[in-house]
Amino acid sequence: MIQPQSVGIVAPQRARFTVPLPLRSGGRLDDYELVYETYGRLNAARDNAVLVCHALSGSHHVAGTHAEDPADIGWWDNLVGPGKPLDTRKFFVIGVNNLGGCYGSSGPNAINPATGKRWGADFPFVTVEDWVDAQARLMDLLGIERLAAVIGGSLGGMQALSWTLQYPDRVRHAAVIASAPKLTAQNIAFNEVARQAILTDPDFHGGHYYEHGVVPARGLKLARMVGHITYLSDDAMAEKFGRSLRHGKAVYSYDVEFEIESYLRYQGDKFAGYFDANTYLLTTKALDYYDPAFEHGGNLAAALARATAEFLVVSFTTDWRFAPPRSREIVYALLHNRRRVSYAEIDCDAGHDSFLLDDPRYHAVLGAWFDRIEVQP
């Protein structure tokens, strides 16, 4: 046992792919790039690689810090590092920014090599399955035939599940956390409100706002505010903000009065300052489209029959955006296919955001599960 540590300073890497990638939307990317980071060392047997898939607003920067910005800590730094549940002394961990992202991989805010201009709204629709295809090509490039594990939360969990269906021979274990086999109508509804906020922003310009030197910041801010409400639990919000009034009493104004208003506006403004609106649109659509049971007449067990990996499924009691019953659907579908699966339902009050926190029981289960994975020295 060692004291959990950071992986330290890390540098993103970039891979270019020139073999065309067919997309589920019918489109195609002829020439694209993926940015990624790695932590730990790939062993000689190349059997200790773990892919970490990011969710809606995540990136390839999973752990550690960047030399030019020490405050830029990876989004799952509490999970990944020496002595942490996903221990980089044992595993070679990979984070990759998905296609359509805005952190350096090919996406709407990147240059379209065919035109020399930013893609904008012309960037094709991408799905969870397309992301997994692109990730698999990156694994080819890194010389990784078979992943020890793939792990993701929320939309990342959908990618982890999809890996086991698209490339069953290339993944030994999958951790699907705070996720779902498909979104509910209510969940799609939240995404649609977020998209409409962006699409109707006068600065959106049909997705080609870059050329106008503006960004649809108001729309993106609103989208994030809606999202944030759904990521927190009622209890957590009540505990954190309650009905606290900035002025101690009602002043009858539309400026910030309740502290929750201040919090949402702050989070919305912050997000609108760095995230790309087109990426937000594309990514929420990828969430909405994901439904591996669709082509099996809605029969999830039939859809998951292809999987051979060993699974860990985790949900959180107060997560109402990706509620425990959605995770249980995955668990029972796997079990009835006689697949190895364990399921933990963690009692945590932080709602959907719980998967990013370091609840000790949650991390203990993840740590024990990763310990169980056999790799060559």
Backbone angles phi, psi at 239, to 5 degrees: -70, -40
Active-site residue, selected from the candidate residues 133, 319, 354, 363: 319
Is 154 labeled as catalytic in the residue annotation?
A: yes
Give the angle subtended at the CA of 144 by the CAs of 140 and 147, to the nearest 5°: 120
Are 102 and 24 contacting, i.e. CB atoms less than 8 angstroms apart?
no
Token pair of 102, please? 């805005």
Is 352 labeled as catalytic in the residue annotation?
A: yes
Is 28 flagged in the annotation as binding?
Answer: no
Residue 31 or 359: the one with the smaller Cβ distance to another protein is 359
Residue 203 or 345: the one with the smaller Cβ distance to another protein is 345
At closest approach, how far in Å is the CB of 87 from another protein? 15
Listed residue (29, 201, 34) closest to 101, CA to CA: 34
Burial environment of residue 328 by CB neighbours within 10 A (0 to 12, 13 to 18, 19 or more): middle
Active-site residue, selected from the candidate residues 6, 352, 354, 363: 352
Which residues are within 8 A (CB) of 273 and not within 5 positions of it... i.e. 6 or more apart? 217
**How far is Cα of residue 258 from the mean position of the Cα atoms in its chain?**
31
Are 174 and 191 contacting, i.e. CB atoms less than 8 angstroms apart?
no
Residue 203 or 349: the one with the smaller Cβ distance to another protein is 349
* Bridge-based pairing state of the strands 80-81 and 86-87: parallel
What are the residues binding another protein (CB under 8 A)?
312, 328, 331-332, 335-336, 338, 340-347, 361, 364-365, 368-369, 371-372
Backbone angles phi, psi at 173, to 5 degrees: -140, 150
At closest approach, how far in Å is the CB of 371 from another protein? 7
Token pair of 82, please? 């020496």
Are 47 and 148 contacting, i.e. CB atoms less than 8 angstroms apart?
yes
Residue 235 or 347: the one with the smaller Cβ distance to another protein is 347
Rounded-to-integer distance, Cα 184 and Cα 169, Å: 30
At closest approach, how far in Å is the CB of 377 from another protein? 20
At closest approach, how far in Å is the CB of 188 from another protein? 24
At closest approach, how far in Å is the CB of 7 from another protein? 25
Residue 13 or 184: the one with the smaller Cβ distance to another protein is 184
Is 353 flagged in the annotation as binding?
Answer: yes
Residue ranges of the annotated binding site for substrate are: 224, 353
Cite the active site residues: 154, 319, 352
Residue ranges of the annotated binding site are: 224, 353
